[in-house]
Structure 1
Amino acid sequence: MVYLRDGRTLIGYLRSVDQFANLVLHRTIERIHVGTRYGDIDRGVFVIRGENVVLLGEIDDTKEGAATLEKVSIEEILEAQRVEQERRQEQEQLRARFMKERGLQYTAEIGPDDMY
């Protein structure tokens, strides 16, 4: 499993790594989490530049089966992700308006979705 700087989680078979932590994953899936639900999107062979890797680890299959997450279809998880992003944007706009009304400058924190 690889967690990237932009917030994505990739799961696959590690086929290659070099001195710069560049990775090649085989049979890769991108796992999207929203609340207690998740969905998997097949990505195939994935080459990852080392500077984008935040965390790399091995998945314990025995513990993964015991998780309380519900697997849903790709369409459902993408829709849930879109709704969640819209909700966050609305909250940021409300915070900015609230701060502006009080004469303060508001700068939103940079999150994984805003990095690129």
Structure 2
Amino acid sequence: MSSSMSWAEPADVYLSTSLASYLDKKLLVLLRDGRKLLGILRSFDQFANVVLEGACERLIVGDLYCDIPLGLYVIRGENVVLIGELDPLKRELPPNMVRVSEPEIRSAQKVEREASELMGTMKKRMDFLDMD
């Protein structure tokens, strides 16, 4: 083995893969219940419990979105599915997305939920008629 090669020490590998590299950066956190939270990572522990500053919940329905402010937010690690850094130099959302108010996005969510339930009911009826 060449002496010019360098190998990472275990401590170096741990630091590069831990949340430490995300401190003070804007993150997107996907939760088990499907919510998407954005905020600046201020603290974390060995259980992936995280503290976000300036957190907001992003709701998206079709081409509509709304960011609901949450402030300082603590998330239990067991609820975290994914954590990713948002690149400050890139757009967070496609250009066709339209920002709306919270009441507008809630109304759009309700319409989407009702349409989904109707489609589910229709599918059950169609499955019943399928005589394979």
Question: Where do residues 61-72 of structure 1 align in structure 2 (5 Å cutoff)?
Answer: 61-64=88-91, 67-68=94-95, 69-72=97-100
Q: Which of 1 and 2 has higher RCO (CA within 8 Å, sep 6+)?
A: 1
Structure 1 residue 82 corresponds to structure 2 residue 110: yes
Distance 1:2 1:65, change over 3 A: closer
Q: So what's the TM-score if we normalise by structure 2?
A: 0.70
- RMSD (CA atoms): 1.9
Structure 1's unaligned 5+ residue stretches are 105-116
**Sequence identity (%):** 47
Q: Which amino acid aligns with 1:93?
A: T
The whole-number CA distance in structure 2 between the counterparts of 1:86 and 1:61 is 36
Structure 2's unaligned 5+ residue stretches are 1-27
Structure 1 residue 18 corresponds to structure 2 residue 45: yes
The whole-number CA distance in structure 1 between the counterparts of 2:104 and 2:90 is 25
Question: Where do residues 7-46 of structure 1 align in structure 2 (5 Å cutoff)?
Answer: 7-46=34-73
> Cα offset for 1:103?
7.0
The whole-number CA distance in structure 2 between the counterparts of 1:66 and 1:4 is 19
The whole-number CA distance in structure 2 between the counterparts of 1:66 and 1:54 is 20
Q: So what's the TM-score if we normalise by structure 1?
A: 0.79
